[in-house]
Structure 1
Amino acid sequence: MLLQHAEPATGELTATKSDIPVYAWVVCALTIGLLLSDYMSRQVLNAVFPFIKSAWNLSDTKLGSLSSVVALMVGVLTFPLSVLADRWGRVKSIALMAALWSLATLGCAISTNYGEMLIARAFVGIGEAAYGSVGIALVLSIFPARLRATLTGTFMAGGAFGSVLGMAIGGAVGTHLGWRWSFGAMACLGIVLVVVYRCVVTEKRLAQLQPSSAAKKDDLGVRMSFRALVKGLFSTRSVVCAYVGSGIHLLVPAAVWAWMPSFLNRYYGMAPGKAAMSAAVFVLVTGLGMIVCGNLADRLNRKVAQRKWLTAIAYCLLCCVLLGTAFQLPAGPVQLVLIGCGMFFCAGATGPSGAMVANLTPPSIHASAFATLTLANNLLGLAPAAILTGIVADRIGLLGALQLVPLAPLLAAVAFAIGRRSYRRDLDCVNALREQAGH
């Protein structure tokens, strides 16, 4: 029988739904809006893979590197840039990052060869590096702790919806106007959103939404030494398992999102534009799954702490079975349906793992904690997914490469299972330290 255990809410808002200000929802919507732009700029490349492959005669390995370099830069830079954002100001940092990835996407539009495109894509990654961690930390700071898994899942699902829009719009624009205009459209949208965000969201108004105790703890976090910061980020076995499990399980959506347009183009005979539009449906399913799975984790975990881990494990196993079966089947409707079902669960552990990280780290370092989570997500899953799949595809074919991808969630499930065993004990230790710090 699972032990009853309440989740921590120290330093977080405790308001009911009716007490949440409208401005908080506006900030949440705009922050997710920028996340949409983030992933539209990142994933528009996948929609125009066939065009670029034909124009520059690129191998699948080089195509994959154009996608993976973004996640690589995000993984390498997310932690230092997130720490700087905590000190410089989250709102200003968000606006600067969004402006950089938008301008870099414009650079992709005017690239004349693979090398120039690779550099421009690297700068897209630099701009996006800390956005996920800083953005979610900002959102969580103005909402009740009871909504953590839901908000984390919804925020991360914004990446899926942005990918849908980037692939669908990019494919349509590329078909009618050329692939360069696909990048140009994403860049213009990002610049407009930056201007709106900077005009509406301010540090002063955000501070009014946070309790005074949380504000004091944030000040403490800014003054925290690096040694104390690292200790807070890696203080328990379960939080490390949450980082690792989350990162590994995201290898699946990253690989499938990157290569689904090419898969449909090669094995179903779809034109590039139609393939991109069809692939966007699978990305949309992933986003819906992230929201539903995150909300379900919150509902099941109102009183029983360990169930977040069990739900994360269940999502990983379902993804493995469904996608593993799907890619063994011949091309046809049954295969597509099973792929869709697998994609619904492939990123389902995002919400639970994000909530675990928030519960197991002090509120004052949540931006740094989510930076660490983003680092794990990118280095273990998002960065290697596209290029590893491309390398394998050059040797055994794209279908053969995709047949190996569903093995990743099995490793993630093992990490989550290890974390679950020590979660209650680790949570008690973290709460004890918080109470000591409060006195």
Structure 2
Amino acid sequence: MEIETLSAKTTSVGYYRWRICALLFFATAINYIDRQVLGILAPQLQTEMDWSDSQYGLIVTAFQVAYAIGFLFMGKLMDRFGCWGGYAFSVLVWSVAAMLHAVARTAVGFGGWRFALGLGEAGNFPAAVKVVSEWFPIKERSLATGIFLSGSSIGAIVAPLAVPVIAIHYGWQWAFILTGASGFVWLLFWLATYRPVEQHPKLSASELAYIQSDPPEPTTEVPWLQLLKYKQTWAFALAKFLSDPIFSFYFFFLPKFFNSQHGLTLDKIGVPIMIIYVMSDLGSMAGGWFSSHLIRRGWSVTKSRKFTMLLASVTVTPVYLASQTTDLWVAVGLIGLALFAHQAWSANLLTLPSDMFPRQAVGSVVGIGSTVGAIGGMFGATTAGFLLQSTHSYAPLFVVAGSAYLVALAILHSLTPRLRAAIP
């Protein structure tokens, strides 16, 4: 039967779970700082190393290929061994790979370290979503997801402010080294702070009871391949396939877009990018809050999640006009609105696996869906690079960016009209 809402009124039970959410937020921020450094430096590196647009697209694709491969085993890794060591392993791999970009001197070299970065970064979302499913009751999960997801926008704000300063004063190599090193700081806090929810010595009995107040879930272990037979898995995966490439497009191509269309150089790109990702950050929290708010008001999980995603899908459609305007700040506003909507959409989409699957399968389902999403991003990055080289126009890319969410929501709804539990 459909997962229904729980009581809207709860007593004060403690807040330790929000400390864990804060760690997820900072990990996600670091994750997006590390992956954005190349995009910010792309105009300079393309000139210095004589890359074509298609070569840059293939370098980005190397990350997406590894991201897709990484999700296949990272999600299973989190379900099998737990998030304390699994998350730490993921962050360790991507931090080392991020720093080693500094030694690359060719397109092939950058592609190799992008590949390693993608393998490590693939662990972030399976781990974070699994942690949320274990540490938060259903009615708080979309809010917690929206909060940690907002770390991606914070990372995207910090990077364009910090990276140009580092690159201009110390060289582009130090931009990779210093941002990559931030992951090691996070590791110290994670290893010292995190424990499984039932074993945490600082969690009160009342807060543990609140976290575990949802109806009991199935405890039978589900084989990884068996998850592929559920339409709920494919609903999540296909929605990721259509929406993930859009965020990747913004993430990797926005500095190039503003450079080619509006003449922004490395020292001037920070403020427009910051404004866009502040709006994106607000979207993460607004989308997560709004869905949880509707549940507290008595809406079912199905209606609250899908209504929020529908609003986001409609809000993103005007972004096509960003490719047509010659006014920089109009373009910034339209793209910022689109990313606000994308993050509101994603905060709810990432919550769906924990709505439909037991905790012990959530990491694997997120991994499967994210693999499919990364495959979409891989083809999207390559296609974007070749389209730009052949047409010298961003218009076709923004048309796709404005319409993909409505198509994704239609497919998701057709496969899962109601968010039923996949495993009885």
Superposed counterparts of 1:169-318, under 5 Å: 169-203=162-196, 204-205=199-200, 220=219, 223-228=221-226, 230=227, 234-236=229-231, 239-301=233-295, 302-304=298-300, 305-318=302-315
CA distance in 2, matches of 1:414, 1:267: 28
The secondary structure found in structure 2 opposite 1:372 is: helix
What residue in structure 2 maps to residue 392 of structure 1? 387
TM value normalised by structure 2: 0.87
1:133–1:198 Cα change, 3 Å:
same
2:356 pairs with 1:363: no
2:33 pairs with 1:69: no
What residue in structure 1 maps to residue 336 of structure 2? 340
1:15–1:55 Cα change, 3 Å:
farther
Paired residue type of 1:383 = M
For residue 389 of structure 1, report the CA deviation from its aligned partner.
Answer: 1.6
For residue 49 of structure 1, report the CA deviation from its aligned partner.
Answer: 0.7
CA distance in 2, matches of 1:80, 1:152: 22
| 1:291-312 per-position Cα deviation (integer Å, ceiling 9, x unaligned) | 2122222323442433422331
Paired residue type of 1:47 = I
Q: How many residues are treated as equivalent by the alignment?
A: 414
More displaced, 123-132 or 311-320? 311-320
CA distance in 2, matches of 1:17, 1:54: 59
For residue 109 of structure 1, report the CA deviation from its aligned partner.
Answer: 1.2
Aligned counterpart for 1:28 among listed residues 21, 24, 28: 21
CA distance in 1, matches of 2:11, 2:119: 36
How large is the Cα RMSD of the aligned pairs? 3.0
CA distance in 2, matches of 1:274, 1:424: 46
For residue 6 of structure 1, report the CA deviation from its aligned partner.
Answer: 5.3
Q: Please tell me whether the aligned partners of residues 312 and 413 of structure 1 are also in contact (alpha carbons under 8 angstroms).
A: no
What residue in structure 2 maps to residue 105 of structure 1? 98
1:332–1:119 Cα change, 3 Å:
closer
2:10 pairs with 1:16: yes
Paired residue type of 1:267 = Q
Paired residue type of 1:91 = W
Paired residue type of 2:321 = T
Q: Please tell me whether the aligned partners of residues 68 and 387 of structure 1 are also in contact (alpha carbons under 8 angstroms).
A: yes
Q: Please tell me whether the aligned partners of residues 14 and 144 of structure 1 are also in contact (alpha carbons under 8 angstroms).
A: no
CA distance in 2, matches of 1:122, 1:421: 35
2:370 pairs with 1:374: yes
| 1:85-129 per-position Cα deviation (integer Å, ceiling 9, x unaligned) | 222221111111111111111110122222222111111111112
Unaligned runs of 5+ in 2: none
More displaced, 94-103 or 385-394? 385-394
The secondary structure found in structure 2 opposite 1:272 is: coil
Paired residue type of 1:393 = L
TM value normalised by structure 1: 0.85
2:34 pairs with 1:41: yes
2:319 pairs with 1:323: yes
| 1:194-221 per-position Cα deviation (integer Å, ceiling 9, x unaligned) | 122112223432896756979xx89945
Paired residue type of 1:225 = P
2:378 pairs with 1:383: yes
| 1:7-37 per-position Cα deviation (integer Å, ceiling 9, x unaligned) | 377xxx9993721x43322221112211211
1:92–1:104 Cα change, 3 Å:
same
1:100–1:239 Cα change, 3 Å:
closer
Paired residue type of 1:367 = G
More displaced, 179-188 or 302-311? 302-311
The secondary structure found in structure 2 opposite 1:141 is: helix
| 1:411-433 per-position Cα deviation (integer Å, ceiling 9, x unaligned) | 43233224335645561x64xx5
CA distance in 2, matches of 1:219, 1:350: 26
Identity %: 18
Q: Please tell me whether the aligned partners of residues 14 and 145 of structure 1 are also in contact (alpha carbons under 8 angstroms).
A: no
CA distance in 2, matches of 1:383, 1:291: 27
Paired residue type of 2:70 = L
CA distance in 1, matches of 2:388, 2:104: 26
Paired residue type of 1:279 = I
Unaligned runs of 5+ in 1: 435-439
